[in-house]
Amino acid sequence: MKLQDMISPLELKALTHVEDKEVEGIFISDMLSDVMSSAKAGDLWLTVQTHKNIVSAANLVDMAAIVVTHGKSVPKETVDLADRFHVAILSCDGSNFELSAKLHAIGFRPR
């Protein structure tokens, strides 16, 4: 499923420029070491982390996008770095669980 096709039905807010990447899977973790060791290219990363190191981890793995959940505010320095490295950051007010349920409801099935 294309990332652009998920934004509206999931009520996501784009904080950076969003390229229309294919979303292959979902990865849920708040630990950068988990992301770097276990996430796969094309994953949608759900996290509450907002510091600029999330951009490096997502870029390293070539994730489809980062979704910051629980209505967390993302610092400007993180957003600016993400735009510089073409890493999409989206946000939502719901929890990781709620967003996962919405993804299932719109027909998203991970690889």
Cα 76 to Cα 60: distance, rounded to the nearest angstrom: 21
Residue 50 contacts residue 76 (beta carbons within 8 Å): no
pLDDT confidence of residue 39: 97
For the residues 93-109, what does the mean pLDDT come to? 95
Q: Dump pLDDT digits (tens) for 54-78.
A: 999 999 999 999 999 999 999 999 9
Q: What is this structure's pTM? A: 0.96
Q: Which residues contact 29 (CB under 8 A, 6 or more apart)?
A: 35, 38, 39, 45, 47
Residue 45 contacts residue 53 (beta carbons within 8 Å): no
Question: pLDDT-based confidence at 93, cuts 50/70/90?
Answer: very high
For the chain, list the domains and their CATH numbers: 4-105 (3.40.1390.20)
Residue 46 contacts residue 96 (beta carbons within 8 Å): yes
Q: Tell whether the model's pLDDT for residue 111 goes beyond 80.
A: no
pLDDT confidence of residue 59: 97
Average pLDDT, the chain: 96
Q: Is 102 exposed, middle or buried (0-12, 13-18, 19+ CB in 10 A)?
A: middle
Q: Dump pLDDT digits (tens) for 35-53.
A: 999 999 999 999 999 999 9
pLDDT confidence of residue 11: 96
